[in-house]
Amino acid sequence: MMFLFYPLFNVLSIALSVMAITMLIPLLLLFGDTDVQALMFIESALLTLASAGLFKLLGRRHRGRLIQRQLFLVTAGSWIVTPLYGMIPFLMMKHPLSLADAFFECVSGFTTTGATVMSGLDKVPHDILLYRSILQWFGGIGIIAVAIAALPSLKTGGMKLFRTESSDWSEKATPRAHHMMSGLLIAYMVLSVLCCLCYWLAGMDVFNAVNHAMTTISTGGYSTSDASFAQFDSNLLHWIAIIFMLAGCLPFMMFVQAWHGRSLRMFKDIQIAGLLGIVIGTTVVLVPDVNWTGDMDLADAITLAAFNVTSIVSTTGFASSDYSLWGNTTHVAFFFLTFIGGCSGSTAGGVKIFRCQLFFIQLKKQLIKSIHPNSVIATKYGNRMVTEDIMQSCIAYLFLLMTSLIIVTFLLSMTGLDLVTSLTGAATAFMNVGPGLGEIIGPAGNFAPLTDTAKWLLSIAMILGRLEFIAIIILFTRTFWRG
């Protein structure tokens, strides 16, 4: 049985080595005029690096390709264990967080959810703010890797539809996978640098530009102020954020293909057309409501509506105003937008555009078969054939999502939370969005007032939602451990 864990130990040794380097990056602030808790980050890095060495020693016996059960363990185990080390600086900083708060904050960063238990961010030391942003940036590239390389191979939630040669973790496909990941990393870094430059040229100071670029491209939403993006009174900055939030929730393989001269193909992708249609359509619907309740001119209303719609659909979670004051239509729209998410192979969370489209395709097929029961209809998604097992996995994903949402909402209500907070808190955690609705966890609040029990529940929900349920839940079945 122990052989199942050897690949996980190897992956953890790599992940924790990267984490140790991450913990040292805030030391760069020493070159400025900022006070840095240097000893805290160095001790955290050394402890994490020592653990990486131990895991490397434990996994030295692994040879050959991964079997399916090992792939499940690697995917789930790495996303559960890594935050346990990532939260160490939050436990050691000048005003330390509690264990529940530290784990919540770190999981929210890694999963690019953006929900926070930290208040008074304007007075939080810059090294901690930078560390939070770095967590989201590294979490974003990790999510892309999982979405492209692991989830299609695990055949979870319909991701098999996007399986490529690089989704095969065999030795034969390894060179191809390395080539693909290097291309994705370059695209991710280039977009991050471009976003940072645009923010800086549009008026942000260097520190804010760096932090917000990392949390925009990763569609994470951590900010340097309790006011989130409302701290910047500039429509230009908001539109720059809209463009790069949309870039973050597009399939990153499209950017790699565009680099190789196939730029027009990305505009023909059915997912991208669906994403842009939802963002533009919802913005048009909400502009009159924003204009009326906000008492502002049309240009500001369009900017605010477009920014906040994009922020929710892309699961970034930035807030440029308290949209809970915009009226009931906005409340309903934003609640359902929470579930949509971005494209497959992006940093965005949510159900994903392709699943929403597949459900409509299946509904159309079912209506036709109701009239012509003997007809044989091929199900196609763009130019790809959709097999029965792909549709079954999508249905299984939807069932797990709804069941988990009901259970966690019920459990949160038992901690004393009202229906709106419980329901939207569970939804925003599973979909990795960030803010919910209501006075406590709405765009003007945060998750600090919640009990430790609620925070642990939501931390688990964030990991479950990010790995699309099956990759975690299957570990608790007898079939998995019996082989």
Question: Does the pLDDT at position 192 exceed 90?
Answer: yes
Query: In this predicted structure, what is the pLDDT of residue 63?
Result: 67
Task: Report residue 149 as tokens.
Answer: 């390389």
Query: In this predicted structure, what is the pLDDT of residue 20?
Result: 94
The per-residue pLDDT for range 451-481, each reduced to its tens digit, is: 999 999 999 999 999 988 888 888 888 888 8
Query: In this predicted structure, what is the pLDDT of residue 178?
Result: 67
How does residue 266 score in pLDDT terms, banded at 50, 70 and 90? low
How does residue 252 score in pLDDT terms, banded at 50, 70 and 90? confident
Q: Mean pLDDT over all residues of the chain?
A: 87
The per-residue pLDDT for range 10-20, each reduced to its tens digit, is: 889 989 999 99
Question: Does the pLDDT at position 419 exceed 90?
Answer: yes
**Residue 85 contacts residue 192 (beta carbons within 8 Å):** no
Query: In this predicted structure, what is the pLDDT of residue 145?
Result: 80
When pLDDT is averaged across residues 103-131 and rounded to a whole number, the result is 92
Residue 52 CA to residue 16 CA, distance in Å, equals 5
Place of tokens 């055949």: 155
| Phi-psi domain of 212 (left: phi exceeds 0; alpha: psi -120 through 50; beta: other) | alpha
Question: Does the pLDDT at position 174 exceed 70?
Answer: no
When pLDDT is averaged across residues 105-121 and rounded to a whole number, the result is 92
Question: Does the pLDDT at position 262 exceed 70?
Answer: no
Q: Which helix (H) or strand (E) holds 381?
A: strand 380-381
For residue 382, the 8-state DSSP code is T
Task: Report residue 121 as tokens.
Answer: 């961010």
Question: Does the pLDDT at position 294 exceed 70?
Answer: no
Residue 174's alpha-carbon distances to 70, 168, 170, 171, 180, in angstroms, are 16, 8, 6, 5, 10
Place of tokens 């915009």: 326
Report the candidate in 415, 426, 424 with the shortest Cα–Cα distance to residue 449. Answer: 415
Query: Burial code of 358-372, b = ≥16 C-beta within 10 A, e = fewer?
Result: beebeeebeeeeeee
Query: In this predicted structure, what is the pLDDT of residue 345?
Result: 84
Task: Report residue 387 as tokens.
Answer: 């097999």
Q: Which helix (H) or strand (E) holds 389?
A: helix 388-413
Task: Report residue 381 as tokens.
Answer: 């998604």
Kindly report the backbone phi and psi dihedral angles of residue 384, in degrees, each rounded to the nearest multiple of 5, phi listed first: -105, 140
Question: Does the pLDDT at position 155 exceed 80?
Answer: no
Residue 185 CA to residue 199 CA, distance in Å, equals 21
pTM comes to 0.90
Of the listed ranges 41-50, 126-135, 257-266, 307-316, the one predicted with least confidence: 257-266
How does residue 438 score in pLDDT terms, banded at 50, 70 and 90? confident
Cα within 13 Å of Cα(143), Cβ side: 39
Question: Does the pLDDT at position 173 exceed 60?
Answer: no
Query: In this predicted structure, what is the pLDDT of residue 240?
Result: 96
Angle made by CA atoms 241, 245, 247, in degrees to the nearest 5: 120
Task: Report residue 53 as tokens.
Answer: 């060495």
Most confident of 261-275, 308-322, 364-378: 308-322
Question: Does the pLDDT at position 421 exceed 90?
Answer: yes
Who wins on pLDDT, 62 or 197? 197
Of the listed ranges 112-126, 220-234, 262-276, 314-328, the one predicted with least confidence: 262-276
Question: Does the pLDDT at position 278 exceed 90?
Answer: yes
Query: In this predicted structure, what is the pLDDT of residue 330?
Result: 83
Question: Does the pLDDT at position 265 exceed 60?
Answer: no
The per-residue pLDDT for range 337-386, each reduced to its tens digit, is: 999 999 988 899 899 998 999 888 888 888 888 888 887 777 788 778 88
Q: Among residues of the chain, what percentage have pLDDT more than 70?
A: 92
| Phi-psi domain of 141 (left: phi exceeds 0; alpha: psi -120 through 50; beta: other) | alpha
**Residue 232 contacts residue 204 (beta carbons within 8 Å):** yes
